Structure 1
Amino acid sequence: MISVPVISAESDVEQQLHDIAARVSAERIEQDIRTLVSFGTRHTLSETQSDTRGIGAARRWIKDEFERISADCGGCLEVYFQSDVIEGETRIPEATEVVSVIAVQKGHTDPDRYVVMSGDIDSRVSDVMNATADAPGANDNASGVAGTLEAARVLSQYQFHGSVVYAALAGEEQGLFGGKIMARKAKEDGWRVKAVLNNDMIGNIAGINGVVNNTTARLFSEGTRKTETPEEARMRRFTGGEVDSPSRNLARFIDRIADRYIPNLDTMMVYRLDRFGRGGHHRPFNDEGFPAIRIMETNEHYDRQHQDLRTENGTEYGDTLDGVNFEYAAKLTGLNAVSLASMAWAPAPPASVKIDGAVTPDTTLSWATANGNEKELVKGYRIYWRYTDQPQWQFSRYVGNVTEFTLENVVIDNYFFGVASVAENGLESPVVFPGAAGSFGD
């Protein structure tokens, strides 16, 4: 293992993050996708006893792969199955054990703070209840699982302040059950989850709209958080925050990571929980109040999603290997890996951020002192602000290691504001919008 628990200089961390992006291998991702496709189907209700076909064989292989990765880093990953029995649901009518594979790389300074990368194990064809037909699921979503495995290979060679979790989640097509199980368990166990990066279809570059593009990706993030109380909604009406949930500021953070560290990739922040009327495995984490977004390709090809393998009128249908661009999947995996490393090396986002300045020429922001071991990570704080119609933060000021600062002659009415924690090595947390609307939690 490369032992780098503390990076002392900004130039050092810049190089490390560029190295992380460069170490992601399209060849290893291709090999993993081919292996997952070889199981024939990974439908949640499919075969579990076979060693070569079905969801059981797939999840055992994923667990074995995580354990091999852990062996290469001296046992740095805690690898386990996470499951619950689901029954009486529209898409899981009979009692079925939904089993995900989790690998946890514990942080060395603040191990109870977590950032998560996930992909979905399961696949399907046209009939969501057909558990026997071949369902390769090459892009949807072997690409996301392969990316998660590859991120674990790369990042497990480093040590971080916070914990990094790699999750291969089950039951997505049948109702987001793997995510529901994991999110509920994380909340019960008191995990301080600061980010969930759900990767669902990261390998297709040729859209059904005729566009072929390997230089963009989409970041879907919810606006107003689902856990908002009526009183919090009343306050938001007067103070703002509709476009500054923690999930949305997580998306802004990753958008800036792409610009800085991932060559030839521009991310599109989509102000929506997911695609129009559709869902993904980040949603259960949002439902529990955790910051979570979906990372995916820009141009989808619907003939390759949820389709029986067939050819009709010269059109080929099905989610097969020839629809995956492995270099593109590697590019999006690199974005995930650098984003996870940046957050795990940086301090936690500031807590209890407040703002004041009505009917004055100045704006004052305040926040809580870092807790416990986080204190040694924090060099200071940076205040950000932007015009209210702008998607990305425009202006900033480093204010030192204080818990309150006044921006003189910056009128509160004209901007949105936020605060980020800054480490000695220059890395920053995502920006936190003041009040309950923007809180990343304590």
Structure 2
Amino acid sequence: MIKNYPSKIKNLTVFTSALAISSLFPISAIAQSEQKQALHDIANSISATNIENDITTLVNFGTRHTLSETESDTRGIGAARRWIKSEFEKISAECGGCLEVYFQSKTISGEKRIPEPVDVVSVIAVQRGTTDPDRYVIMSGDIDSRVSDVMDFTSDSPGANDNASGVAGTLEAARVLSKYKFNGTIVYAALAGEEQGLFGGRIMANQAKEDGWRIKAVLNNDMIGNIEGVNGVINNTTARIFAEGTRVTETDAEARRRRFTGGEVDSPSRNLARYIDKIADQYIENLDTMVVYRLDRFGRGGHHRPFNDLGYPGIRIMETNENYTRQHQDLREEDGIKYGDTLDGVNFDYAAKLTGLNAVSLASMAWAPNPPANVSIKGAVQPSTTLMWDALDEKQNPQLKGYKVYWRHTDAPQWEYSKFVGNVNQATLDNIVIDNYFFGVASVNNDGVESVVVYPGPAGSFGE
């Protein structure tokens, strides 16, 4: 029987001991009734030491600029991506070949930041689901780094926090989650070309669409290791989750419908962010996540955006207090201020905490049934509200127990009320007036692990 561990990340001792224990219990030995406990174990299994070692290795490649050296084994983007692939392959070997590891590439040229032909090469590792392998949740980090001049591909560019931290977190999540089996598929992605124009994400998103991937979540991790803000704040207890509102792919007809029925703050990306915020409260010790109702930081972008551009749910997870003297800077000292993205600017325990948030969120979504599809609602000029949805495919979702209906006041940031309604495809909330609340539906497995809440109509749909 798996022992009870503290429910949140505390320190390296907890990480190490939990990882040693969890390695004795592959998911084949974990009954579905123990999945919620396994989520606590996953949070406690993340190793800050592994993350530190991986960030250090990435920094030691000197520069990981997209246009940098590709032939050397010790310097440049080529050496970095080959090392990342070898690490995923080691992880796969330890779980009996449970990961499909490959390079994903495309030659880019004629762009402002890539004027001459360059192969933009990402590293992808896929952990196939057992019953619903075509349903995907993705965690990503960015391989490349830069200094002050975005076209300078020869100067040292450590990129310790931006974004070796995100790649290290993705590798560590794979190490821990590969010890388990899940109903849905989990993808770990080290994406290239972010600083030159989000090219790795564009390549992956377009390929996923072409291949018909049913993507339910993209968790982009970009800078998850800094706790000292340029504003003087030092805080290792908060993180931000950026989530766009209305889908950019919304049609005119869908926009008109939304105007009368709502959904501006209930896009799948927003409800994905609420889900992760709830995971933080339940499983990650001493971490309060701030859901930011914006695609990304003001006027800026990240590698979740190419997925959002195609209508997929995607969010950015990152530190709360950025330090701009450590971002996109030449290594130097001026007026007593040290500039540059170096190892001494990364808090490895904090990076482990945010990695734990990712790992638990991925596991929870992959164990949960598919989010409900074709959710609709009625109740205008009535004293009650009725929600309807399609029954899930039983072969894809043998773990399904039933569905839970959620509602909240229209100015509430998080879901406030819920009711489990059983394995049905319709539920009526008596004396709950539709005009006064927002509503949604989640699917629930036999251990109570839930999917993301789905808002009715096209505005909130996660697709099939």
Please state which band the TM-score falls in when normalised by the shorter chain.
over 0.9
Query: After the TM superposition, which segments of 4 or more aligned residues of structure 1 sit over 4 Å from their partners?
Result: 5-10
- Counterpart of 1:298? 320
Shift of the alpha carbon at 1:376? 1.5
- Which of 47, 51, 75 is the aligned partner of 2:69? 47
- Which of 138, 148, 154 is the aligned partner of 2:170? 148
Shift of the alpha carbon at 1:4? 2.0
- Counterpart of 1:191? 213
- Which of 247, 251, 262 is the aligned partner of 1:225? 247
Q: What are the ranges of 5 or more consecutive residues in structure 2 without an aligned counterpart?
A: 1-22
- Counterpart of 1:91? 113
Residue deviations 1:350-370, cap 9 Å, x none?
000000010111100000010
- Counterpart of 1:173? 195
Residue identity matched to 1:59? R
- Which of 335, 360, 363 is the aligned partner of 1:313? 335
C-alpha separation between the residues in 2 aligned to 1:227 and 1:334?
32
- Counterpart of 2:357? 335
- Counterpart of 2:27? 4
Task: Give SS of 1:373's match.
Answer: coil
Residue deviations 1:99-158, cap 9 Å, x none?
000000000111100100000000000000000000000000000000000000000000
Task: Give SS of 1:374's match.
Answer: coil
- Counterpart of 2:237? 215
Matches within 5 A, 1:373-388: 373-388=395-410
C-alpha separation between the residues in 2 aligned to 1:16 and 1:362?
38
Shift of the alpha carbon at 1:5? 5.3
Contact 1:5 1:161 in 2 (8 A): no
TM-score, normalised relative to structure 2: 0.94
Q: How many residues end up aligned between the 2 structures? A: 441
C-alpha separation between the residues in 2 aligned to 1:3 and 1:58?
30
Contact 1:385 1:393 in 2 (8 A): yes
Shift of the alpha carbon at 1:6? 8.7
C-alpha separation between the residues in 2 aligned to 1:231 and 1:246?
18
Residue deviations 1:267-326, cap 9 Å, x none?
000000000000000000001111000000000000000000000111100000000000
Residue 279 (structure 1) aligned with residue 297 (structure 2): no
Task: Give SS of 1:65's match.
Answer: helix
Shift of the alpha carbon at 1:7? 5.5
Contact 2:36 2:447 in 1 (8 A): no
Q: What are the ranges of 5 or more consecutive residues in structure 1 without an aligned counterpart?
A: none
Shift of the alpha carbon at 1:3? 3.6
C-alpha separation between the residues in 2 aligned to 1:3 and 1:201?
31
Residue 248 (structure 1) aligned with residue 248 (structure 2): no
- Which of 215, 219, 234 is the aligned partner of 2:256? 234
Shift of the alpha carbon at 1:15? 1.4
Task: Give SS of 2:27's match.
Answer: coil
Residue 348 (structure 1) aligned with residue 365 (structure 2): no
Distance 1:6 1:370, change over 3 A: farther
- Counterpart of 1:18? 40
Task: Give SS of 2:398's match.
Answer: helix
- Which of 400, 411, 414 is the aligned partner of 2:422? 400
Contact 1:113 1:194 in 2 (8 A): yes
Contact 1:24 1:150 in 2 (8 A): yes
Task: Give SS of 2:227's match.
Answer: coil
- Counterpart of 2:160? 138
- Counterpart of 1:441? 463
Distance 1:96 1:171, change over 3 A: same
Please tell me the root mean square deviation across aligned C-alpha atoms, in Å: 1.0
Contact 1:51 1:57 in 2 (8 A): yes
Task: Give SS of 1:416's match.
Answer: strand
Shift of the alpha carbon at 1:425? 1.2
Task: Give SS of 1:251's match.
Answer: helix
Task: Give SS of 1:306's match.
Answer: coil
C-alpha separation between the residues in 1 aligned to 2:93 and 2:435?
55
Contact 1:21 1:334 in 2 (8 A): yes
Contact 1:5 1:160 in 2 (8 A): no
Task: Give SS of 1:348's match.
Answer: coil
Residue 425 (structure 1) aligned with residue 447 (structure 2): yes
Contact 1:363 1:411 in 2 (8 A): yes
C-alpha separation between the residues in 1 aligned to 2:395 and 2:247?
29
Residue identity matched to 1:404? Q
Contact 1:5 1:108 in 2 (8 A): no
Distance 1:226 1:365, change over 3 A: same
- Counterpart of 1:60? 82
Shift of the alpha carbon at 1:14? 2.1
Shift of the alpha carbon at 1:377? 2.0
Shift of the alpha carbon at 1:372? 4.9
Contact 1:8 1:424 in 2 (8 A): no
Residue identity matched to 2:151? M
C-alpha separation between the residues in 2 aligned to 1:13 and 1:78?
24
C-alpha separation between the residues in 1 aligned to 2:348 and 2:255?
43
Task: Give SS of 1:385's match.
Answer: strand
- Counterpart of 1:269? 291
- Counterpart of 2:344? 322
Residue 27 (structure 1) aligned with residue 49 (structure 2): yes
Contact 2:131 2:397 in 1 (8 A): no
Residue identity matched to 1:355? I
